[in-house]
Structure 1
Amino acid sequence: MIFRPKERMITELLGDPLVQMMMHADRVDPQDLARELHKLANALKPKSLPIACRVCPA
């Protein structure tokens, strides 16, 4: 059996006290980071396929 730890959500990671201490030491603004992560998530969202491609056989 392979042990796979549960993946943590980014909000959990950013709420971790150690991560917060490191961000503070690196002068990372949590609100700026959140904005950048939201922009990145939106940029990485899959684009919808044109209708013709949806009906093409795979």
Structure 2
Amino acid sequence: MPDNLRSSFVTQGVQRSPNRAMLRAVGFGDSDFTKAIVGLANGYSTITPCNMGINAL
């Protein structure tokens, strides 16, 4: 795995301590901070009909 992970912006440095504290609160351990952090998003919503079909994807 490359040493220049984009997630190192959050997992390294004193200024990002609050970010790491939040991640630890949701269950991250020491080894998790050495891995890539990948986020997934889903635009499904029942508010408008145009987004209702996204849930099936």
- TM-score, with normalisation over the residues of structure 1? 0.34
Q: Which has the higher contact order (CA 8 A, sep 6+)?
A: 2
Question: TM-score normalized by structure 2?
Answer: 0.35
Q: Which structure shows the bigger proportion of residues in helix conformation? A: 1
